[in-house]
Structure 1
Amino acid sequence: MSHLTLPEADPAPGAPLLRRLRAETATLLKLAWPMMIAQASRMGLNVIDTVMVGQASTQELAYLGMGRALNWVAIISGIGLMAGISVFAARAVGAGDPRRCGDIMRQGLLYALALGAALTALILLLARPVLQLAGLAPDLVDGGVAFSAAISLGYIPTLVGSAAYFFLQGIGRPKPGMIITTSALPLNVFLNWVFIYGNLGAPALGATGAALATALAVTLTTLVELGYLRWMPDAERYGVLDRGWRRAWREGRALRRFGFAPGLATMLDLLGLNTLAVWAGRFGAAVAAGFQILLSLHLIVLIIGISLATAASVRVGNAYGAQQWREIGLRCWLASALSVLTMALLVAVLYPNLSLAIRPFNPDAATAAAAIAQLRAFTPFMLFDGVAFVLMLSLRSAGDEVVASVLQIVGYLGVALAAATVLVVGFGMGGVGLALAFGIGMLFTALAMAWRFRIVAARLAARAKAGP
């Protein structure tokens, strides 16, 4: 099997620019398409839950939204803390030291296990007081807490499976993770059918049933993913079978330290987003459910942007490990251009068809009206989200993870919440104001990341001119 990330597979840095662009485009797309399907499958679990719970009732969909607001912060923050796994593995491959990847894998899996246990304890302790503090109605608090307790059963397998998947991404082998992740979708649909609606003798649990189904589906697919790592082709070459579990935690300090800034930024980013989601709950179940539909459609469109961003981060990590400083800028800007082009096409298709796009989520007329109003304000901003992720992940791979994280916090938390305060409190725009605020934070983040990457790329190009 060929390995796309090996330096010898690339044209020499001094090759003609057109040849390098063609080769890099092909490599990015070969990496990105399985990542896209895997991301679609991961996000598809959330979309499936939203659709199937929405068919049960608008009230259950609101419960899901309140519980998910907390749990997205927890689980995606944990994933952000593990950002070093794919970056460090890609750098090791770029440096011509693939065996080092096995040590990175062990460090990442142990870290994921510890994070999963800690986050499970936190969500069980804090779900109720946090939702009560948000000023929600008692039934929304109870529904959100029940959802949180059920979904937390899947925290450890979700993070362990993510660590395994990040390792496979870092070594340029995303296809097995794609296949395994995709297999969770039909399993989740079946388990949702059982637990949401109360089939095969199970109680009808609504949103809580969706959480339980997702936790079970993720647990089973994670076990398969760990089995693949054990018996993967070239396991010996990548050091997967080496011993070293006892020293992995001690030697994983650099990996954990790398992930601190991205993890904190992701947590605060999602805190801002889910503050908007909880804020939507104050305008009633229809607005809250409509905001959840907005988030689901946003995730569907963002799949391509995140996939290109992840592929770009692997390629930038390869160049960083190989000390090919000029290639870092070329690879990131090319991925940024591809992201803008594809997101523009998707937005152009989605915007005139919003009524059709929301139809599967919920049959309630008030929810549909709220969702369409919010999406009309928000959809044009989707153009900028993909490129923001490309630049953000490339900055991390280029060793600038702290500044990238600061800009992420400022944009998705500070700017978004400030805009929401002005639009909702000052102008009384309700759910539409929340949607606009989310988009404004997104636009700011993309522009700030582009400004920062331009500085970093110029600095690295100067290092290349200076020589060793």
Structure 2
Amino acid sequence: MTAQAVALPDPARPTLGPLLRLAGPVVASRLGIMAMGVVDTVVVGRYSAEQLGYHAIGWAPTGVVLTTALGLLYGIQVMTSQAIGDGRAQETGAILRRGVAYAFWVGLTAALVLMLLGGPTLHLMGLEPALANGATPVLQVLALSLVPILMADAGLFWLEAHGRAVPGMVAMWGANIVNLVLNLWLVPGNSGFPVDGAVASGWSTALSRVALLLFIWGAILAWAPARRYGVFRKAAPDPRAASAQRRVGYGTAASYFIESAAFGAMSIFAGWIGTLAVAAWAITLNVAAVIFMVPLGLASATAVMVGRAHGARSPAGVVRAGMLGFGVTSVVLFIICIIVGFGNEAIAAAYTTDAAVRGMAAAALLLSCLFYLADGLQNVGAQALRARGDVWVPTATHMTSYLLVMMPLGWALAIPAGLGVPGLIWSIIIASLVAAVLLWGRFWWLGRTSSLSRTSS
């Protein structure tokens, strides 16, 4: 893990080459995050459609908590990028140290809450008792893994802000190998340990996240400049900087919570439809989540370049970096839509051998192509806005789009209107379009005013 950092020599004049060189390994790293979920879903789905339902429901609340907690850590990447652009790279070690301590306590608190309240909450949601009972131990095992995954991602965000995305990518895919081996060993129930199915897959994920933590921090330890930047020495207290770092995280976490909670609600609605619908929705959502990792990686790369231009006080650089991210994301997602549209049946068949579930999932995957582009662009737009110091407008936009539009519309179309899983997808299409238009409209408007405010102020 000794790859050189991606060179971004002039933050005030971002160009396509550096964006692509940074985005490539960042996208690969984000795909690695979801590859764990794909392996879990495929292995469990081929083992048992019933166990796949347990896995989907158990993942829903833990996914919401994990995504929200990752949002709290986003200040690491934003503040590090801005400090580098402003010529203050020596301060970035303190940013990481604050972020790691924060990650530990956030993860520990979230794990305890999920362990104690997750199971009873599933029963209160009106799910079938057997489904809630089967999902509860899955939820509890996944909750245990929150501390290592959050501490690992804190280091990953910091490395990426320094342009060192390749070590993070290698670490992520190394953890994926661990996850794959453990899934194949534990899920069938022949390992000698008293676990199988969805619970066994949960343990595979938990152990692979511990491996990721070791890999990421090994990469930081091996990078000599990390010592120069103060990663391994105690920094002087800086309440103002710590507060600014948390403020970035608050806005991002609120957005992530709103969006992930809304998608979690879609899983609950699917549970109300029936077991087969849950399985088909799990496949659809898993594929969408994997695809979403592409614009999520592009959004991180875009945000690094926007943040550096912001730190360098270059309004033109901020706009150019944002629009480069918009253009690359549009092209890449259009290609992905074509691939999924023509390969929907093969993708569904890879997830399950159940004919009924496969048919429902294939139809849902075809329809899902309509929201991939809008959903990806809204994420890139939100991250670009946060990187230039506009923290709370993306949160308000997500509240409008996903809480006020998607959730009620998803319930209405899927349940009373009787559209089932397609009704859930139509609600996502509409909400994502609303969010994309509002966020990029905001970015364009701020670009015209050429107003830059320092996040740390």
When normalised by structure 1's length, the TM-score is 0.92
Question: 1:442: Cα distance to partner?
Answer: 1.4
What amino acid is the match of 1:31?
A: L
Q: Say whether the 8 Å CA contact 1:281–1:288 is kept in structure 2.
A: yes
Query: Residue 313 of structure 2: SS of its match in structure 1?
Result: coil
Residue equivalent to 2:270: 280
Amino acid paired to 2:86: A
Answer whether contact 1:419 1:440 (CA < 8 A) is retained.
no
* Cα deviation, residue 220, structure 1: 1.8
Inter-partner Cα distance in structure 1 for 2:208 and 2:5: 30
Alpha-carbon distance in 1 for matches of 2:227, 2:119: 47
| 2:51 is aligned with 1:60 | yes
Alpha-carbon distance in 1 for matches of 2:315, 2:240: 31
Paired position in structure 2 for 1:17:
none
1:202-221 → structure 2 map (5 Å cutoff) = 202-221=193-212
2:80 corresponds to which letter in structure 1?
Answer: A
1:181 partner SS: helix
* Correspondence list, 1:387-466, <5 A: 387-460=377-450
> How far is the alpha carbon of 1:424 from its aligned partner?
2.5
1:361 is aligned to: 351
> C-alpha deviations, 1:436-467, integer Å up to 9, x for none?
1122211111111111111222222699xxxx
Deviations 1:70-100 (A, max 9, x none): 1101111100111100000000100011111
For residue 127 of structure 1, the aligned residue among 111, 118, 129 is 118
Paired amino acid for 2:10: D
In structure 1, the partner of 2:153 is 162
CA distance in 2, matches of 1:300, 1:120: 24
Tell me whether 1:256 sits opposite 2:246 in the alignment: yes
Query: 2:384 matched to 1:381?
Result: no
Matched residues, percent identical? 28
Q: Aligned equivalents of 2:238 and 2:69: distance in 1?
A: 19
**Deviation digits for residues 13-52 of structure 1, max 9, x if unmatched?**
5xxxxxx6xxx11011010111111111111000100000
d(CA) in 1 for partners of 2:420, 2:191: 42
Q: What is the identity, as a one-letter code, of the residue corresponding to 2:182?
A: L
In structure 2, how many angstroms separate the alpha carbons of the residues matched to 1:247 and 1:213?
A: 38
Find the aligned partners of 1:12 and 1:86 in 2 and give their Cα distance: 18
| Aligned CA distance change for structure 1 residues 281 and 421 (closer, same or farther; 3 Å) | closer
Please show how residues 170-249 of structure 1 align to structure 2 within 5 Å. Answer: 170-244=161-235, 247=237
- Relative distance call for 1:2 and 1:58 in structure 2 (3 A) is closer
1:251 Cα deviation from its structure 2 partner: 5.3
Q: Any gaps of 5 or more consecutive residues in structure 2? A: none
Determine if contact 2:55/2:198 at 8 Å carries over to the other structure: yes
Letter in 1 for 2:107: G
2:63 paired residue number: 72
Offset at residue 231 of structure 1 (A): 2.9
Give the SS at the match of 1:183. Answer: helix
User: Structure 2: how far apart are the matches of 1:144 and 1:248?
Assistant: 43
CA 1:103–1:370: 2 relative to 1, 3 Å: same
Amino acid in structure 1 at the alignment position of 2:366: R
How far is the alpha carbon of 1:377 from its aligned partner? 2.4
Stretches of structure 1 lacking an aligned partner (at least 5 in a row): 14-19, 464-468
Distance in 1 (CA, whole Å) between partners of 2:7 and 2:126 is 50
2:251–2:395 contact (8 Å) kept in structure 1: yes
2:304 alignment counterpart: 314
- Answering whether residue 268 of structure 2 is matched by residue 291 of structure 1, we say no
Quote the Cα distance in structure 1 between the aligned partners of 2:173 and 2:63.
Answer: 20
Say how many residue pairs are matched. 451
SS of structure 1 residue aligned to 2:351: coil
- Residue by residue over 1:272-311, the C-alpha shift from the partner in whole angstroms, topping out at 9 and shown as x without a partner, is 1110111101111111011111111112222321111110
Q: Secondary structure at the match of 1:99?
A: helix
With over 3 angstroms needed to count, the CA separation of the structure-2 counterparts of 1:310 and 1:278, relative to structure 1, is: same
What residue identity is the alignment partner of 1:327?
Answer: G
Please tell me whether the aligned partners of residues 195 and 203 of structure 1 are also in contact (alpha carbons under 8 angstroms): no
Mean Cα deviation higher: 219-228 or 351-360: 219-228
Deviation at residue 242 of structure 1 after TM alignment: 2.9
1:141 aligns with 2:139: no
**Deviation string, structure 1 residues 82-135 (Cα, Å, up to 9, x no partner):** 110000000010001111100100010000001000100110122122211210
Letter of the 1:323 counterpart: R
